[in-house]
Structure 1
């Protein structure tokens, strides 16, 4: 893990805990090493650094739609600082898929949002099969993550004392399922979706 990344995540973690009462559950489900995908529901633009902070002991990389890289130079720098890489949302971005697989085979952690876009009302959108496809091709586990309490502007969250939380589920491993890659892709994605929805209904963490 790069020193600048370690320092930044410690600062972000401190701010989230101090001002927003940020909570993380089941962090022990994150392996210390080896390529992994963390798959989460998607609520806001600051989900990636928040989940990255929740992962804590691993440096994370994540997709960001290519339109975000042309907003302004500072925002582009910020995205790259937090290890974002471009993905096109028109069709299948083979370049982004190959880059993701390379990161995973190097033993790194990649955050993915199977819904493909933000759910502004916090309701689950349809999950795409890309997570399962990449996990099957790279042969890495997927860690389901449920994110809650961050679907409002930060200042409103602070004033309302809304406490965000991240809950990690049990790993979903490609070798748990039989079949060819494309067959397993759908099965893995379905199991990840089922796990995230189950975490959202678990009242032990509220």
Structure 2
């Protein structure tokens, strides 16, 4: 029917606005996420947690101490990176213990629609490596001050063998300093098999948490010096934990 016939055009009903529309998952706390997102997170974490315990049965050492340590405040958790297995098993296990962990991930993933949608809803914070990404720094700082923990892989990418060059990205110490937090070094072995030493593809990772490092411990008089000392001390601990695990579990990498 047209307006010439005395009838007004029929308006299409507006689609109801979803609670997630326009929500800033990066700057808001995970407890503040819309109810559908929180429900999705719980479902996915539960399913992946069950799956990982069957397919990647992981042994955690020092987990109880870490959980107790971050119960009232957030920490920056740093770890070596060999596979996509370790962030899955780690985040799911910590969720089961009631610990909110926000992983830092490469901003390149934001170009992949499904990855961007998912990573933000599990608390991920994208960072543009090689730049002073103030948005990411402030988001991580705010997360720490809310009591959430931040998971960072300073190697920046999966290290597939010992021959691969490693470049340490040291922003984790600045994040800890901005968030008035500490740094907890940790390590994993067994999540990858780069040298094809195992007869099957089943993986049994071992994860070990170290003692928290504070800026008072690492020393330094100036801010930059403290950050540099923290980066050095934390990564030394990460590799010491990794090497000890390798020695205790020969053949695992």
- Aligned counterparts of 2:157 and 2:62: Cα–Cα separation in 1: 25
Partner deviation per Cα, 1:21-80 (whole Å, 9 max, x = no partner): 222111023122202111011223454333212434211112111221222x32222212
Query: Among 147, 152, 171, which residue is 2:212 paired with?
Result: 171
Match of 2:158 in 1: 118
TM (normalized to structure 2)?
A: 0.71
Specify whether residues 117 and 92 from structure 1 end up closer, same or farther in structure 2 by C-alpha distance, changes over 3 A only: farther
Match of 1:191 in 2: 233
Partner deviation per Cα, 1:145-169 (whole Å, 9 max, x = no partner): 102222359xxx8933331221111
- Aligned counterparts of 2:159 and 2:105: Cα–Cα separation in 1: 15
- Aligned counterparts of 1:45 and 1:69: Cα–Cα separation in 2: 17
Q: Is residue 24 of structure 1 aligned with residue 60 of structure 2?
A: yes
Larger Rg: 2
Query: Among 73, 81, 85, which residue is 2:121 paired with?
Result: 81
SS state of the match for residue 91, structure 1? coil
- Aligned counterparts of 1:158 and 1:136: Cα–Cα separation in 2: 45
Note the C-alpha offset of 1:170.
0.8
- Aligned counterparts of 2:124 and 2:161: Cα–Cα separation in 1: 25
Match of 1:51 in 2: 90
Unaligned runs of 5+ in 1: none
Total equivalences in the alignment: 203
- Aligned counterparts of 1:172 and 1:34: Cα–Cα separation in 2: 14
Q: Is residue 136 of structure 1 aligned with residue 177 of structure 2?
A: yes
1:104-115 mapped onto 2 (5 Å cutoff): 104-115=144-155
**C-alpha RMSD over aligned residues:** 2.6
Q: Which moved more, 1:57-66 or 1:11-20?
A: 11-20
- Aligned counterparts of 2:178 and 2:55: Cα–Cα separation in 1: 41
SS state of the match for residue 201, structure 1? helix
SS state of the match for residue 200, structure 2? helix
Note the C-alpha offset of 1:81.
2.4
User: Higher relative contact order by CA 8 Å / sep ≥ 6: 1 or 2?
Assistant: 1
* Preserved CA contact (<8 Å) 1:61 1:111: yes
- Aligned counterparts of 1:97 and 1:173: Cα–Cα separation in 2: 19
- Aligned counterparts of 1:124 and 1:13: Cα–Cα separation in 2: 32
Query: Among 142, 148, 166, which residue is 2:189 paired with?
Result: 148
Partner deviation per Cα, 1:67-96 (whole Å, 9 max, x = no partner): 21222x322222122211221123221211
TM (normalized to structure 1)?
A: 0.85
- Aligned counterparts of 1:130 and 1:90: Cα–Cα separation in 2: 10
